[in-house]
Amino acid sequence: KAAHEILSARKIELIDLAQINDHFFLLSAEVQDTSTPVTLEFDDDWSVSPLHPTQLVGIYNFNYRVPRDMQKTNPQDGWLNTIIVPERPARIPFLGRRDFSWGDETDIPTRRVRMTSASPATIIADCERVFKTPLTITLSHHRIKVIVGKNRLF
């Protein structure tokens, strides 16, 4: 019934599209190969590498994994969000039972990022398409029309 109401209301929104080289994606592109560290190059003049290769690295048009992050990654704002999630808190043996964490995730808004690595790393786009580094991810000038409900999260 709810799907029928959404479709019959015909509320149409334009959503940003992203590209990996010449291929479009809608949701995200995430590094899957944690054994190969990646370098993220922004605007050809600065770069970032995760402190540890097991950190989650992703470029999001919108983050469907964590609902509270839906506001951070808006698919209508004209930006992609590069997010690097630190490792989970770890125990340091000589500090006893204290927990240690590297802090919050790093969120870098961008329109273009190049991913490189010493050996090819696996990147998964929209949970199904497989790519290998090196590659370039850009915000496309194309947008897609989607029918949305009034309670959408973006």
pTM of the model: 0.80
Residue 44's alpha-carbon distances to 24, 98, 99, 103, 136, in angstroms, are: 22, 40, 37, 27, 11
**Per DSSP, what are the bridge partners of residue 76?**
none
pLDDT digits (tens, 9 = 90+) for 99-144: 545 567 788 999 999 999 999 999 999 989 999 999 999 999 999 9
Question: 68: alpha, beta or left, given left = phi > 0 and alpha = psi -120 to 50?
Answer: alpha
Tens of each residue's pLDDT in the chain, 154 residues: 777 776 776 788 899 999 999 999 999 999 987 788 899 999 778 999 887 777 888 999 876 665 555 556 788 889 999 888 876 655 555 555 545 455 677 889 999 999 999 999 999 999 899 999 999 999 999 999 987 777 666 6
| Bridge partners (DSSP) listed for residue 116 | 39
Whether the CB-CB separation of 23 and 48 falls below 8 Å is answered with no
144's tokens: 């897609």
One DSSP character per residue, 2-22 reads HHHHHHHHT-EEEEEEEEETT
Residue 34, SS3? coil
CB within 8 Å of 126: residues ≥ 6 apart: 25, 26, 27, 28, 29
Cβ-contact 137, 16 below 8 angstroms? no
- Number of Cβ within 10 Å of residue 87's Cβ equals 14
